[in-house]
Amino acid sequence: MSESDVTRKGVEGARPGREALTGARAGRRRRRRGRGEQPVVPDARFSSYYGKPVLNKPTWKPLDIAGYLYLGGLAGGASLLAAGAHATGRPDLARVTKLGAAGAITVSLGALVHDLGRPARFINMLRVVKPTSPMNMGSWLLAGYAPLTMAAAAADVAGRYRLVGAGATAAAAALGPAVATYTAVLLSDTAVPSWHEGYRELPFVFAGSGASAAAGLALAFVPAAQAGPARRMAVLGAALELGAFQLMKRHIGLAAEPFEQGRPHKLLRAAEMLTAGGAALAAYAGAGAGPRAGWRGRAPAVAAGLALLTGSAALRFGVFHAGVHSAEDPKYTVVPQRERMRARAG
Amino acid sequence: MTEGKTTAVNAAGGDPPPSRKLFSGPQPNVAQAAGYPDAPPRMGFFTDTSVCIGCKACEVACKEWNSVPEDGLELTGMSYDNTQGLGADTWRHVAFIEQRKPLGGQEPGVDHSGFDVFEAARNLGSSPASPGPGATAPSPESAPAGAPAGSISPVSPDGRTELRWLMSSDVCKHCTHAACLDVCPTGALFRTEFGTVVVQEDVCNGCGYCVPACPYGVIDQRKEDGRVWKCTLCYDRLGVGMEPACAKSCPTDSIQFGPLEELRERAAARVAQLHAAGVTDARLYGESPDDGVGGDGAFFLLLDEPEVYGLPPDPVVTTRDLPAMWKHAAMAAASLAALGFASFVRRPR
Ligand code: SF4
């Protein structure tokens, strides 16, 4: 490490740019916030090029891509509920989740195309089959999955072509979990520290988040008598999401820090509270789900549903922004790599 | 170009020759692994920053030759470097660093005190050691022998020369295992027969996936058209046997172009020479095939830690972990399916 810098005695404090350090401790520094949280790792000293990022940060528009992740999870989870409802004879639950899956995946494809800039550009994705590109695999997955959800929903609404509808529902449920989890690979297969380091747990976080969102959709729109599976899915999904996320933050060292700071932190706190609260409320609504009818009896379930839907969205946005932040600060690139080298050197 | 495209499709998609394209680690013949049975030797850059004078001729030549648009005229106020970094419209970037360190480290370690420049100018082009206009990098044999140790400028008594400038011309590394190429969903990025990595702008659909995938922060999106751009190692010039524009324009031969094998030998000799001259800071960056990206096609001789130049100290191609990522995603998908199933199982009353 060098202890060099560009300041000279006389001009210190003259202009921020003049103070840029090229040597040690040149990284941006932030005060840690939070209620007595212990730092994941001690503040590290490191060199950088005037505090400039090493990586080029993702160019994706947050609304498009975080929305794409969220809606993919929602659709995938909804397809599971739809198949279960279809098989166990819960027509209202089936109707809502089939429509939900088809609607969510349509909007999600729309978001992707919006981010690409031109619809025709999506077609370029299907010009090769390339397992090393999660985005290519995802495009093929969606190209198969989206029509299935639409067929399932159309058959349900029309009340005809029952066999086709049943087949499409089952096939969509088979692909649904992959649609919900592949997006984690999409984020992890980058050099972005906070996304890459979490590649083991992130798919589970997204799986849980997709399940809780789908459950939320059902809770909000399906009468209590048929919403039993949704309530269970809400609790299980929330547990998976929150548990896997805690595990992830514990495993990834310095890369966990961006999740605990600034806007990502706020979003993820909100996600945690909404998801946990929504799941608890769903369980309560289940316990009290008796013959009470009308909006008053449905209120807890609707509130739970909305909380779960919002919580899942907040999680995706939080994860997205945390990753962008980890790419913007050279600290998260340089320090772990230095540590790795030191460990290797023994 | 057309030929490159078709082959690229075969190499990237379809069925690549079984198990020859590796995800990480040394890969002796990248072009062959990418589907070129009889490829020319792998070409690359060796950027020797110890002789860089920061003139930015490379930046300008690159822009001119490749018609790269203007990338913002701003003064950063942080140093003489107003280019700041590589991006869609900056394919060569000269980093500029000022340090409180003895001047010596900056010198090539060769004593020039007895050197008559006018004499040298008169002799230009008359001997292989002083090539005239149009010549390219000197061959390794003609490189000067190790300079005597201790020929480094001393620090003046009042200590005022305890300051040095580091300059380094950064560029796409043309990784052996290029994350940008691996993650590109359209096959727009492809491996050329020279082992370099090039974007086909007519195929790029602007998804931007390669941008955060690159461990060096090289490739970036052009705001106006949404597509991505980066150094092509002057694929068009290579095709007709010319050296890339930046190397051609470099007045000090800080940027050397040639077959990678030869460049590695030249670089090893240069480091030894500098170490012998007491420049212990000198080190190679990106030349080892054992590093996280399987070695760079464009590697560097640096005089300080890589991060001082804005380079990652230990980059790893993200796709090294991709098999594990797919495995975890599959397990998560199975868990989700099980979770969905469990939601419908009635609890026994
Ligand atoms: S340095 Fe970046 S842009 Fe260049 S080949 Fe490697 S991954 Fe691709």
Residue B270 C-alpha, separation from nearest chain A C-alpha, in angstroms: 23
Mean predicted confidence (pLDDT) in A89-102: 94
Mark yes or no for CB contact B319/A76 under 8 Å.
no
- Please indicate whether residue B174, judged by its CB atom, sits closer than 6 Å to ligand 1: yes
pLDDT digit string (tens) for A4-21?
Answer: 344 444 333 333 333 333
Structural tokens at position B141: 């044999």
Chain B contacts of A6, Cβ < 8 Å?
A: 78-79, 98
pLDDT for the residue A250: 95
Nearest C-alpha in B relative to A139: B185
Chain A contacts of B96, Cβ < 8 Å?
A: none
Mark yes or no for CB contact A124/B205 under 8 Å.
yes
Give the residue from B288, B336, B341, B347 with the most A CB atoms within 10 Å of its CB, the best one to mutate.
B336
What phi, psi does A310 have (nearest 5°)? Answer: -70, -40
By CB neighbour count within 10 A (0-12 exposed, 13-18 middle, 19+ buried), where does A245 fall? Answer: buried
Range of the domain at A282: 62-327
How many domains are contained in chain A? 1
Cα B121 from chain centroid (whole Å): 32
Nearest to A212 by CA among A235, A178, A228, A179: A235
Q: What is the ipTM of this complex?
A: 0.86
pLDDT for the residue B291: 92
Q: Has residue A28 been placed in a domain?
A: no
CATH number corresponding to B30-100+167-309: 3.30.70.20
Asked whether the predicted pLDDT for residue A284 surpasses 90, the reply is no
Mutation pick for ligand 1 pocket among B172, B191, B229, B231 (CB with most ligand atoms within 8 Å): B172
Mark yes or no for CB contact A127/B184 under 8 Å.
no
Q: Are A195 and A202 in contact (CB under 8 A)?
A: yes
> Is any Cβ of chain B less than 8 angstroms from the Cβ of A73?
no
What residues 260-319 of chain A have any CB closer than 8 A to a CB of chain B?
A: none
Asked whether the predicted pLDDT for residue A39 surpasses 60, the reply is no
pLDDT for the residue A296: 59
What phi, psi does B233 have (nearest 5°)? Answer: 50, 40
Nearest C-alpha in A relative to B16: A130
Of B185, B211, B329, the CB nearest to A136: B185
Asked whether the predicted pLDDT for residue B325 surpasses 90, the reply is yes
Nearest to A266 by CA among A321, A187, A331, A198: A321
Chain A contacts of B105, Cβ < 8 Å?
A: none
pLDDT for the residue B150: 36
> Cα–Cα distance between B62 and B232 in angstroms, integer?
10
Of B79, B218, B341, the CB nearest to A50: B79
Residue B51 C-alpha, separation from nearest chain A C-alpha, in angstroms: 20
Distance A54 CA to ligand 1 centre (A): 13
Q: Has residue A345 been placed in a domain?
A: no
Mean predicted confidence (pLDDT) in A189-214: 96
> Cα–Cα distance between A182 and A200 in angstroms, integer?
12
Where does the pLDDT of residue B129 fall: very low under 50, low under 70, confident under 90, or very high at 90 and above?
low
Q: Has residue A161 been placed in a domain?
A: yes
- The number of C-alpha atoms within 13 Å of B327 and in the hemisphere containing its C-beta is 5
Single-letter residue type at B257: F
Q: B45-49, B54-58, B150-154, B259-263 — which is least confidently predicted?
A: B150-154
- Please indicate whether residue B58, judged by its CB atom, sits closer than 6 Å to ligand 1: no
Mark yes or no for CB contact B344/A84 under 8 Å.
yes
> Is any Cβ of chain B less than 8 angstroms from the Cβ of A140?
no
Mark yes or no for CB contact A340/B305 under 8 Å.
no
Mark yes or no for CB contact B183/A125 under 8 Å.
no
Question: What's the Rg (C-alpha) of chain A?
Answer: 23
> Is any Cβ of chain A less than 8 angstroms from the Cβ of B97?
yes
pLDDT digit string (tens) for B51-98?
Answer: 999 999 999 999 999 999 988 888 888 888 888 899 999 999 999 998
pLDDT for the residue A192: 97
Q: What percent of chain B has pLDDT over 90?
A: 60
Asked whether the predicted pLDDT for residue A41 surpasses 90, the reply is no
> Is any Cβ of chain A less than 8 angstroms from the Cβ of B22?
no
Asked whether the predicted pLDDT for residue B20 surpasses 60, the reply is no
Nearest C-alpha in A relative to B23: A132
Nearest to A189 by CA among B166, B1, B17, B329: B329
Terminal-to-terminal C-alpha distance of chain B: 70
Nearest to B274 by CA among B46, B98, B51, B99: B51
Asked whether the predicted pLDDT for residue A40 surpasses 70, the reply is no
pLDDT for the residue B101: 73
CATH number at residue A293: 1.20.1630.10
- Please indicate whether residue B178, judged by its CB atom, sits closer than 6 Å to ligand 1: yes
Mean predicted confidence (pLDDT) in B293-297: 95
Mean predicted confidence (pLDDT) in A120-137: 91
> Is any Cβ of chain A less than 8 angstroms from the Cβ of B52?
no
Mark yes or no for CB contact A3/B334 under 8 Å.
no
Nearest to A46 by CA among B123, B306, B116, B179: B306
> Cα–Cα distance between B67 and A74 in angstroms, integer?
45
Highest mean pLDDT among A22-31, A152-161, A201-210, B9-18: A201-210
> Cα–Cα distance between B259 and A296 in angstroms, integer?
77
By CB neighbour count within 10 A (0-12 exposed, 13-18 middle, 19+ buried), where does A140 fall? Answer: middle
Higher pLDDT, B116 or B233: B233
> Cα–Cα distance between B231 and A192 in angstroms, integer?
22
Q: Are B81 and B94 in contact (CB under 8 A)?
A: yes
> Cα–Cα distance between A275 and A208 in angstroms, integer?
10
What phi, psi does B312 have (nearest 5°)? Answer: -70, 135
> Cα–Cα distance between A76 and B303 in angstroms, integer?
52
Average pLDDT, chain A: 86
Mark yes or no for CB contact A127/B9 under 8 Å.
yes
pLDDT for the residue A267: 97
Mean predicted confidence (pLDDT) in B293-314: 95
Nearest atom within ligand 1 for CA of residue B293: 6
Q: Has residue A45 been placed in a domain?
A: no
Residue B136 C-alpha, separation from nearest chain A C-alpha, in angstroms: 31
Average pLDDT, chain B: 83
pLDDT for the residue A243: 97
> Is any Cβ of chain A less than 8 angstroms from the Cβ of B184?
yes
Chain A contacts of B334, Cβ < 8 Å?
A: 177
pLDDT for the residue B1: 35
Q: Are A73 and A204 in contact (CB under 8 A)?
A: no
> Cα–Cα distance between B339 and A277 in angstroms, integer?
20
Q: Has residue A342 been placed in a domain?
A: no
Mean predicted confidence (pLDDT) in B153-164: 55
pLDDT digit string (tens) for B196-220?
Answer: 999 999 999 999 999 999 999 999 9
- Please indicate whether residue B211, judged by its CB atom, sits closer than 6 Å to ligand 1: no
Taking CA atoms only, the protein residue closest to ligand 1 atom 2 is B214
Give the residue from A122, A132, A182, A199 with the most B CB atoms within 10 Å of its CB, the best one to mutate.
A132
- Please indicate whether residue B266, judged by its CB atom, sits closer than 6 Å to ligand 1: no
Mean predicted confidence (pLDDT) in A328-338: 95
> Cα–Cα distance between A207 and A205 in angstroms, integer?
5
> Is any Cβ of chain B less than 8 angstroms from the Cβ of A94?
no
Where does the pLDDT of residue B348 fall: very low under 50, low under 70, confident under 90, or very high at 90 and above?
low
Structural tokens at position A115: 């981010």
Mark yes or no for CB contact B336/A60 under 8 Å.
no
pLDDT for the residue B16: 42
Other Cβ atoms within 10 Å of B100 Cβ, number: 17
Chain B contacts of A125, Cβ < 8 Å?
A: 185-186, 205, 207
Mark yes or no for CB contact B328/A200 under 8 Å.
yes
Mean predicted confidence (pLDDT) in B264-293: 92
Mean predicted confidence (pLDDT) in A151-156: 94
- The structure tokens 């409802």 sit at A85
Higher pLDDT, A252 or B110: A252
Q: What percent of chain B has pLDDT over 70?
A: 79
Q: Has residue A299 been placed in a domain?
A: yes
> Cα–Cα distance between B223 and B89 in angstroms, integer?
10
Single-letter residue type at A267: L
pLDDT digit string (tens) for A292-324?
Answer: 555 556 888 999 999 999 999 999 999 999 999
pTM of the entire structure? 0.83
Where does the pLDDT of residue B127 fall: very low under 50, low under 70, confident under 90, or very high at 90 and above?
low
Nearest to B195 by CA among B176, B181, B210: B176
Where does the pLDDT of residue B303 fall: very low under 50, low under 70, confident under 90, or very high at 90 and above?
very high
Higher pLDDT, A25 or A242: A242
Mark yes or no for CB contact A177/B340 under 8 Å.
yes
- The structure tokens 């940060």 sit at A57
Asked whether the predicted pLDDT for residue A231 surpasses 60, the reply is yes
pLDDT for the residue B314: 95
Q: Give the residue extent of every domain in chain B.
A: 30-100+167-309
